[in-house]
A and B are shown apart, each in its own frame.
Chain A
């Protein structure tokens, strides 16, 4: 592993430089600082969060199909930002998206605890159902507001080209900082999370408050996912495939897996966004690129690891 660090670092640095400087024109330093750097930061945050959260969800729910969107957070957040758009509150789209995520989070959490005890099947099922419900609401809005279809597609297919207002940018910097801190906290929890894979009883006997741990991870992860959807829409596949790829390469669940997953997810999303921006004359929604590239790449890694 150690002898690979230098090439990997070189790759990351050159990727970032290409991202910022591709098609560089004279006097476009302004564009690099004002448009591309914010976009790079957004791409980094979204990839970092979705892949890390995906990894922790797959372990916590003990389900290889789990991903950040599985608890309906994405549909709730998407619904929120679409409502903001339909009502004409263009500047408040991230705020509404975040509110949508919070509402979904509360509903799903409440449903998962019906009957007084938590179980992960109930959590998954209520997440999926609530997600479907918000999905139907989105379709309804789409049907009755055809003039807003462009934006709705934008949210549903993922878009890292969010145009920030200057004020909003400062909020984003704060959000960015908080998100990174929350992710670091999630990394700290990963040791306990690993013990959870041995089963609730053993974990409990090792002194872990299983209930409290689950609640913490659930709330942090959902908030983080809500933030990404609020700014970038729904970007599929990253949160599902990156954790699997990391696991296949590193051989099973590891405590450090979540960190690798986050970093790899960030790199992959930046790469996908670079392609989305430049491959065609018109920018392509990045969610399409992540799926188009992600699926074959995933199958290749899977075939190789068998």
Chain B
């Protein structure tokens, strides 16, 4: 019996020792924010990414990677076992996550871009962190020119737009939010430009009063244009009368919600909508 116990004891020690040797050298990134995941993938592919959250779904290759949890809740044991050199986190619910990771002495880098400028400078910073500075600067510079181009292409911000980001209760965005800035830079005139918060609950009567010409839904595809049209009292809104409600089927919400370079694609689609092009 004693021999068996001794054998097991030695075996355990050897095995734990082995697992140390198993660790790879080089950079090992865990990314909990889908936005940062897109940016890092764009800068140097998935080769150094060892873990992501389930929301990191673009590009599709990221879905194959090890999952450490979701945006709101991660598995700390999993993170520790993946032995990351940096964990990239975001804001909102992840403020707390970042402090908790720091308590565990895991190196973190937090990026929560709240505007297009913010996003561009985040790309430069991330580039520096992961050793892809040149590519990051190239991406950032070309983003700046693209956005400049879109801005000069705008005729005016004449079309009034209502953006619905959530439907029960109905919520919209102010111009200070990322989505709000995207709408504004793409040539739309947000009816809720001046909300007290970036993302906020709004009143149905204010939407009807503002009478937007265009409605953009960034809700999941189950929220159809039809579900807006049948709302009591909404039939007088110009966008409803003229059938100008754009859903996830017309414009992928990720293209305008996420602060990533794909926003250029989103802005181009929006610009077409605002310029009444088909």
Contacts from A to B (Cβ < 8 Å): 25, 28, 30-31, 33-36, 38, 85, 88, 90-91, 93, 143, 146-147, 150-151, 154, 159, 161, 163-169, 277, 280-283
Query: Is the Cβ of B231 less than 8 Å from the Cβ of A164?
Result: yes
- Tell me if B142 counts as interface (CB < 8 A to partner A): no
Query: Is the Cβ of B201 less than 8 Å from the Cβ of A282?
Result: yes
In the complex, A277 Cα to B203 Cα: how many Å? 9
Q: Given A166-B230, A166-B232, A159 and B169 touching (CB < 8 A)?
A: yes
Query: Is the Cβ of B232 less than 8 Å from the Cβ of A85?
Result: no
In the complex, A91 Cα to B196 Cα: how many Å? 29
Query: Is the Cβ of B167 less than 8 Å from the Cβ of A282?
Result: no
Task: List 9 tightest A-B contacts by C-beta distance, closest first.
Answer: A34-B233, A88-B222, A165-B230, A164-B232, A151-B168, A31-B205, A35-B205, A281-B196, A146-B72
Q: What residues of chain A lie closer than 8 Å to B197, measured between beta carbons?
A: 282
- Tell me if B109 counts as interface (CB < 8 A to partner A): no
16 A-B residue pairings within 8 Å (CB atoms): A25-B209, A31-B208, A34-B232, A35-B233, A88-B220, A90-B167, A143-B73, A150-B166, A150-B171, A161-B203, A163-B168, A167-B230, A280-B196, A281-B196, A282-B200, A283-B201
Q: How many residues of B contact A (CB 8 A)?
A: 31
Query: Is the Cβ of B231 less than 8 Å from the Cβ of A163?
Result: yes
Which B-chain residue is minimally distant from A31 (CB atoms)? B205
- Tell me if B236 counts as interface (CB < 8 A to partner A): yes
For the complex formed, measure the closest distance between the CB of A233 and the CB atoms of chain B, giving whole angstroms.
10
The CB with the most chain A CB atoms within 10 A, among B171, B204, B220, is that of B204
In chain B, residues 182-201, which have Cβ atoms closer than 8 Å to a Cβ of chain A? 195-197, 200-201
- Tell me if B71 counts as interface (CB < 8 A to partner A): yes
Query: Is the Cβ of A30 less than 8 Å from the Cβ of B236?
Result: yes
For the complex formed, measure the closest distance between the CB of B94 and the CB atoms of chain A, giving whole angstroms.
12
In the complex, A146 Cα to B204 Cα: how many Å? 24
Contact with A along B212-250 (1 / 0, CB 8 A): 000000001011000100111101100000000000000
Q: What residues of chain B lie closer than 8 Å to A91, measured between beta carbons?
A: 227
In the complex, A283 Cα to B223 Cα: how many Å? 23
Which B-chain residue is minimally distant from A152 (CB atoms)? B168
Query: Is the Cβ of B200 less than 8 Å from the Cβ of A35?
Result: no
Which B-chain residue is minimally distant from A91 (CB atoms)? B227
- Tell me if B15 counts as interface (CB < 8 A to partner A): no
In the complex, A166 Cα to B205 Cα: how many Å? 16
The CB with the most chain B CB atoms within 10 A, among A31, A93, A151, is that of A31
In the complex, A243 Cα to B171 Cα: how many Å? 35
Q: What residues of chain A lie closer than 8 Å to B73, measured between beta carbons?
A: 143
